[in-house]
Structure 1
Amino acid sequence: MIESSLKFDPKRDEINVLAEEMVFLPASNQKKLEKRNPKVVMLIVGLIIGAALLSLMIGLLVWHFHFRPDNRVKKMYNGYLNITNKQFTEELEDSDSEEFKTLAATVEEMLQETYTKTDGLAPYYVQSTVTAFSEGSVIAYYWLECRVPPEKEAELDKAVGALSVLSRSHPRFFSKSLRVNNMVIDRADPRKVKPPKDKSCSYDMHATPGTNSTFTSPGFPHSPYPADSWCQWVIRADSDHILELNFVTFDLEKICQNDFVTVYDSLSPIEKREITERCGVYPPTNALKLISSRNVMLVTLITDDNENYPGFKAVFRQLPKRKECRKVLEGSGVFSSPYYPAYYPPRADCTWILRVPPSMKVKVVFKVFLLQELKDGVCKDYVEINNQRICGKKPVLVLLGEGNEMTVKFHSDAAESDRGFSATFESYDANKPCPDEFACTSGRCIGKDLVCDGWNDCGDNSDEINCNCKEDQFHCGTGLCKSKFWMCDGVDDCGDNSDEESCQCDPEDMKCANGRCIPEEQKCNQVDDCGDRSDEKDCQHESMSVTCTASTYKCSNNLCIRKKNPECDGTRDCADGSDEQNCSCGFRPYKHSRIVGGVDAEIGEWPWQVSLHVKNHGNTCGASVISNHWLVSAAHCFQNTFGTKYSDPNLWTAYLGLHVQLELNDRVVKRDIKQIIVHESYNLQTFDNDIALLELSSPVAFSNVIQPICLPDATHSFPVGKSVWVTGWGKLKEDGYEAKVLQKAELRIIKRPICNTLLSSTVTSRMLCAGFLSGGIDACQGDSGGPMSSVEGNGRVFLAGIVSWGDGCARRNKPGVYTKAAKFRQWIKMRSGV
């Protein structure tokens, strides 16, 4: 009956079906149903609670190990260690060889055993990975990976550092099969971390005896290097050799945080073995040439995701390792840091014993001295003479010995090299150290006519001490004599500001609270020009609109702002951003560390410099690039003379990107001149309005050696005392020969009223006066029309002036005069559209 009642019959109606399906069975014991046994109930409850707790524990464990956020930080360290009971074999160069894999596994097992027993490190240890081997007996390079809570990072760094120190000072057995000492390990720069097993963009190379080998960044020279790349080149030489690496082309982004090349004296990218880290662009004349201390070198290229550049081309070769760097030199001669002018190698120690005749003493002159600066108050790389250690970057340095023999020692540490030094030595008579010249306390010899002339020619002011001031000089508080022309010009020439105190200021100047005078345009420029900040008090916000005057900068929306020289300074000051528009100028791709008294410029150091040639006569004038088809020069270059029509464009040829006269290469661009526009108010007698525009026959493409210079706004200020640079191929001295290599010299802007008292013609408000009253440095014939360049605080360069006229070349108290470019900004715009 029960069975049949569970069957479904579609013929029955719904109520009957439900009634038939509901069957109640009688209970066999009614009392048991009403009341269960307490023990059974407790057992059931216990089982339920236990199951719940077990489920909770399992859930917590699953969450902890699979779903809980891991806030530990991945920390990478890299380093190397010496295995003293193994010998290096050629097979260990190949990471795919069985010998490499076997030894790597043994080293990794040893490292794991060591680090998992090291206090402060063991809880965070993940793994160690060997990446390379080299001679020495065998040096193993490896990465160490740890994971540590953020609050424990410093503790972990300290533990790793302590282990490295202990290993170097206490060689010991780390395992049964390996004897290890000299372990160097340090925290890896996060920018330079790459998975150790990642072999993409990784190259292994070995120098070939007697030949040069080449490698380039990916894509060079046909395309820029790739974005977000991490490339490395492992370079080796034969045993008992070192490596010379020369970057013949180097063109990377100028910000090293984005794209950079690092070179290591190691096969592991460890900072303690970093030779140098570089970015930007270097010209062939200032190329990077690096030397290793042993037969391995590692080069890495790291880039970000934008603004990729051409990259580099590098050449390397192997050189025999010097067994000893010790020489005895007698009489006179030249000596230098190892491999100069290449960067000196790490871990170098050299000694020179200099000897002169017994009756004489030794003098050493360092003409170049470029060592690493002090670090933590200590010279890491240094030259040691007379128990004195010298480091850093020095101008001409002269040292005198106490007898006829001098010992010079050179030392470099394991990282960060520089160009080193070049020195000469000779004998001198202590009674007559400078025959027919003045002997400076520093050991330098200068002409007697330079003594007490108001200029620190010795470098230590010893030529200006105990002087009787002349009529055209005044006494500084320091006891020095200075030219009266420098009084109250806003520049501290005395060193104690005494030449700038209690000044009667000119009408166009502002008087500071301390009595100093500064140009009015320096007020409220966010620079403490007064020295007591009185020029920066009660100033409105620079970007706030102010009443327009002749000295305020006008934005494109016709509103004026107080800030001086706001154009192209990297800060948006105008509400419409017009002060930062059209700023593709004044950039010098190459970085570098006519000029009478000047020095050779580097290739591309002044990429707007143009050489103007009169056909069949060579360099005649200079000019500046202001756009891809316009140049600016001096009007007087194009004035007709008897027999020569200099105003004819067909007479001229422009050479852009030129460095050495008559040396044309693929960097130099030659253009004819389409038209010459001379300022209509140019005065042939006074040189007033001495400016001209030249249109090229066809546009030029900008490059590392051809760039436009920035044109200053009409309100742009180039204050008295500011340093500027003048360049050109003009005569090296009055009535002398012209320069073949582009020359550069640093000058100083001089007050116009002072120049008017010195020069034969009037210096108008449309001119700038610059030079040194002591003479010796100036522009000269052949420099006319070239640029006077002003490097602003952000590194951008503006055209301050155009070489115009002067009384002779580099005469004392005869500074040069330059066309003031800012006065002609609107004229240039109107005539050329630039």
Structure 2
Amino acid sequence: MMDYMESGPRYTPKLDKEFEQSLQFLPASNNKKYEKKKSPGKIGAVIGVVVFVAVVALMIGLLVWHFRFRKNEIVKRMYTGSMKITDQTFDNAYEDSNSSEFKALAQQVVTQLKSIYSKDPQLKKYYFGSVVQAFSEGSVIAYYLSEFRAPAGQETSLDKAMGNLEKSAGKVRLSGTGTIEVEEIVTSVVDSRMLTTSFRRDLRFSKHLRPNKVDQIESPGFPNTPYPSNTVIQWQLRGDAGQVIQLKFDSIILEENCKNDFVKIYDSLVAIEGRVMEELCGHYSPSEPLTFLSSGNVMLVTMATNEEKNFPGFRAKVSQTLKTRVCDKQLSGSEGSFSSPNFPNFYPPDTKCAWEIQVPNGKVVKVTFKKFLLTEPGLENDKNCPKDYVMINNEKLCGDYDDGMLTRTSKTSKMTVTFHSDFSYVDRGFDAKFEAVDSTDPCPDEFECKNKQCIKSSLTCDGWNDCGDSSDELNCKCNSKSISCNNGMCKPEFWKCDGIDDCGDGTDELNCGGCKSEEFTCTNSKCVSEKKRCDGRNDCGDGSDELDCPAAMESSVACTDLTYKCKNNKCISKKNPECDDQPDCDDGSDEENCDCGQRTFKSSRIVGGQDAEDGEFPWQVSLHIKNGGHVCGASLISPTWLVTAAHCVQDEGSLKLSQAGTWEVYLGLHIQGKIGSPVVKKLLKQVVPHAYYNAHTYDYDICLMELDSPVTFSDHIKPICLPAPQHDFKVGDTVWITGWGATREGGVAAKVLQKAQVRLINHTTCDGLMEGQLTSRMMCAGVLSGGVDACQGDSGGPLSSPEGKRMFLAGVVSWGDGCARRNKPGIYTTVTRFRGWIKEKTGV
């Protein structure tokens, strides 16, 4: 029986002779022979005979199954495909699968397919039948589904034979029995997820788009009810000849794992895997562009769902637009810009572009890619660029590059840049600028990196990889406040002894007073033999040698300052067990209240500078003075409570910042001043700064705020997870700082929420850099690259630490020596030291 994608006229399956033979069973035994007798001897004999007969019957049955049936186990192999019919012109009646014209041509195609398959012994042997599913223009494209039935284990050879058929089709014109002439055969095995027998429903929709009209497609029930389970759906979209299809998602909310529920988009009218443009699952922010263009006038959107966890689904706008070749351009002048088609949306498949760049004579062309996103699934690390690529100076470029990190320079005043995309899997593409530069001095008054990027000369040999390829840090003389690596590099002093090899040769981790290689380093810095690790004895003195031990994690252990305490007061040795989706406590308390710290939206990898995506940090709060603007940040930890910094609520003259009535709270905010949906404005009920806060030292710099009414969680408003007192945030871990603070020291506040990655720094090293100003309630985080830090206006905001699928509130932005100064990391209030105080005041 054909599978879900079958449509149009049906064919009658042939009988398979291998399945005509019926199973033969051994005759039932005569039970009277084995009735219970009085004699124990006879009973034993009877039992022995029964056992013997049963064993013999079982062995015979197994032998019959193995030699007669197992070797003949038959599997179905389904292939979708298309072929170009060169001696026909498209008739509008071909859009209707019930029309006589459709049926007549479909029969010719099926005959042709049988003739084509018969030329290959493997295909001829196992071919079962085909059905034509659709036709489209060009001259006429036929889309079909073919079924093969072969013994188990022959799938690979079938795939190879079908692959050879496609390769040869482009070289040799194929013809059948004289009925039609075909060429350009495309075929691929059907995605197995679409053939599962558990689908309860198979829904199909077709739409022919009209000029200047925008239509809409959506999953059933969207957005009021979840999409149906165990269902496969397809939307066949057509445009007029000479048009292309534009698909733009307004909203997409699916299960996170694409193995369960997914949407796939094809540059075809059937699900040919060689023509898949993209596969989507999860939840994408409406602010991110998810727009696709077809290469021709057809497109297929499919959706498949399993039994569990159904979500609202998706809604998308569809329209047709004229197919153009606007990307072939002549560019001239001293500078300019160009980008891949449809950027920043997805470029169309089967696209070729060329830009001829001419700069003034005596100059050379330098191209810098401001964005470069050209990656195909499974080929992320393939530098040969076998699929989509940009070519400059006979060099293929593909993959993902950070902003401005990819540059190329010509040898003359002319340069040709070409772009190529194949038929499958599209990406965002690129945005580039060109400029005329002097061939002998392409970076006037600046330093030229090996990758041809230009940076300020003052940024060389300062310990920071400003070039992106570290060429600005080679062969350097380090100052007294930097680590002199043996390989000639300089690194910031606060990266010394943090457990990470920043130099690349281990210099920064030498002479750290650590333990020997065969020893375990305790949390209290004591060294014990690795053999004593997990031996059931507290050799460290603080119990750290018995943490995360498999045997100990199966039962409760003695409670220490490092062990996690469950609600029933039993302790477990597992590190950071809370909200990791694995119940570790007997009472399950480590997985309670775990609806937190999860970012709803998937990232599509397109980032504007350091702007956060809308909804990327849904716990981020903006604190405003009434009738004023943004002053501080805060973190949402429950429907009614926020965490911020105590220094944000210190009275300043007549400005009573310690009073709840002074404040307005904005949740779900992304752009300052843009307060429509989904932003929620709240007032405060009370402000609770820590009683021990010291305005001179910034010790105990933490404050709680209670909202005047609970906020309803949404995609843009969610709490961050609070860590347990024993939660271990490791030195060297990468964390996030976010806020609307000044983007530079002395600068103005940012309009769009900013984000930056920083790294947790060794407390002792940091205290030395900050001249002994740190207390045990403060933690340090430094930048991975120069010029990134929290600043004025970021105070009170979160230091978010990823742990599995969730983010935990590691710290609260507190203070620093200026903003983004090199070797001057930011200082944060350590939340784990105040977990008991937060619980006491809020119940959270």
Would you call these one fold, judging by a TM-score over 0.5? yes
Return the alpha-carbon distance in structure 1 between the equivalents of residues 437 and 243 of structure 2: 40
**CA RMSD between the two structures:** 2.9
For residues 522 and 125 of structure 1, do their structure 2 counterparts lie closer, same or farther at Cα, with a shift above 3 Å needed?
Answer: farther
SS in 1 for 2:407: strand
Aligned to 1:731: 742
Alpha carbons 1:489, 1:517 under 8 Å: kept: no
Corresponding letter in the other structure for 1:762: Q
How far has the Cα of 1:366 moved from its partner?
0.4
Q: Which moved more, 1:393-402 or 1:153-162?
A: 153-162
Please point out which of 795, 805, 811 is paired with 2:815: 805
How far has the Cα of 1:271 moved from its partner?
1.0
Aligned to 1:663: 674
Aligned to 1:147: 149
Corresponding letter in the other structure for 2:307: D
Return the alpha-carbon distance in structure 1 between the equivalents of residues 408 and 467 of structure 2: 13
Count of aligned residue pairs for this structure pair: 759
SS in 1 for 2:577: coil
CA deviation string 1:473-497 (max 9, x = no partner): 3332322122333222211111122
Give matches, 1:70-469, under 5 Å. Answer: 71-115=73-117, 118-193=120-195, 200-323=202-325, 325-331=327-333, 332-373=335-376, 374=379, 378-379=384-385, 380-395=387-402, 396-469=405-478
SS in 2 for 1:155: helix
Aligned to 1:610: 621
Please, which runs of 5 or more residues in structure 1 have no aligned partner?
1-58, 527-534
Alpha carbons 1:732, 1:739 under 8 Å: kept: yes
CA deviation string 1:410-454 (max 9, x = no partner): 111111111001000001112222222222222111112111111
Tell me which structure has the larger Cα radius of gyration: 1
Alpha carbons 2:622, 2:667 under 8 Å: kept: yes
Aligned to 1:55: none
Aligned to 1:19: none
Corresponding letter in the other structure for 1:749: L
Return the alpha-carbon distance in structure 2 between the equivalents of residues 806 and 334 of structure 1: 39
Aligned to 1:497: 506
Return the alpha-carbon distance in structure 2 between the equivalents of residues 546 and 465 of structure 1: 51
Aligned to 1:636: 647
How far has the Cα of 1:280 moved from its partner?
0.6
How far has the Cα of 1:111 moved from its partner?
2.2
Corresponding letter in the other structure for 1:814: K
SS in 2 for 1:762: coil
How far has the Cα of 1:699 moved from its partner?
1.5
CA deviation string 1:632-680 (max 9, x = no partner): 1112212222101112212212111111111122211121112222222
CA deviation string 1:714-770 (max 9, x = no partner): 111112221111111112222321111111111111222233233367211111111
Please point out which of 606, 610, 613 is paired with 1:599: 610
How far has the Cα of 1:537 moved from its partner?
11
Return the alpha-carbon distance in structure 1 between the equivalents of residues 589 and 620 of structure 2: 27
Aligned to 2:578: 567
Corresponding letter in the other structure for 1:384: M
For residues 494 and 514 of structure 1, do their structure 2 counterparts lie closer, same or farther at Cα, with a shift above 3 Å needed?
Answer: farther
CA deviation string 1:63-114 (max 9, x = no partner): 489x989842222111111111111122212223222222122212332344
Q: Which moved more, 1:621-630 or 1:92-101?
A: 92-101
Q: Does 1:582 pair with 2:582?
A: no
For residues 634 and 598 of structure 1, do their structure 2 counterparts lie closer, same or farther at Cα, with a shift above 3 Å needed?
Answer: farther
Return the alpha-carbon distance in structure 2 between the equivalents of residues 206 and 427 of structure 1: 48
Please point out which of 726, 746, 761 is paired with 1:750: 761
How far has the Cα of 1:709 moved from its partner?
0.7
Alpha carbons 1:337, 1:344 under 8 Å: kept: yes
How far has the Cα of 1:209 moved from its partner?
1.3
For residues 598 and 758 of structure 1, do their structure 2 counterparts lie closer, same or farther at Cα, with a shift above 3 Å needed?
Answer: farther
Alpha carbons 1:625, 1:709 under 8 Å: kept: yes
Aligned to 2:827: 817
Alpha carbons 1:246, 1:314 under 8 Å: kept: yes
Return the alpha-carbon distance in structure 2 between the equivalents of residues 686 and 324 of structure 1: 61
How far has the Cα of 1:802 moved from its partner?
0.7
Return the alpha-carbon distance in structure 2 between the equivalents of residues 300 and 536 of structure 1: 53
Corresponding letter in the other structure for 1:720: V
TM-score using structure 1 length: 0.86
CA deviation string 1:133-174 (max 9, x = no partner): 111111111111222221322233233223333333321212
How far has the Cα of 1:511 moved from its partner?
5.3
SS in 2 for 1:463: helix
Aligned to 2:727: 716
For residues 397 and 654 of structure 1, do their structure 2 counterparts lie closer, same or farther at Cα, with a shift above 3 Å needed?
Answer: same
Alpha carbons 2:162, 2:187 under 8 Å: kept: yes
How far has the Cα of 1:199 moved from its partner?
9.7
CA deviation string 1:784-815 (max 9, x = no partner): 111111112x2311111111112222223322
Return the alpha-carbon distance in structure 2 between the equivalents of residues 614 and 585 of structure 1: 27
Corresponding letter in the other structure for 2:113: L
Please, which runs of 5 or more residues in structure 2 have no aligned partner?
1-18, 26-67, 535-543
Alpha carbons 1:500, 1:515 under 8 Å: kept: no
Alpha carbons 1:263, 1:297 under 8 Å: kept: yes
How far has the Cα of 1:367 moved from its partner?
0.9
For residues 481 and 780 of structure 1, do their structure 2 counterparts lie closer, same or farther at Cα, with a shift above 3 Å needed?
Answer: closer
For residues 706 and 450 of structure 1, do their structure 2 counterparts lie closer, same or farther at Cα, with a shift above 3 Å needed?
Answer: same
Identity of paired residues, percent? 50
Alpha carbons 2:465, 2:785 under 8 Å: kept: no
Return the alpha-carbon distance in structure 2 between the equivalents of residues 309 and 468 of structure 1: 58
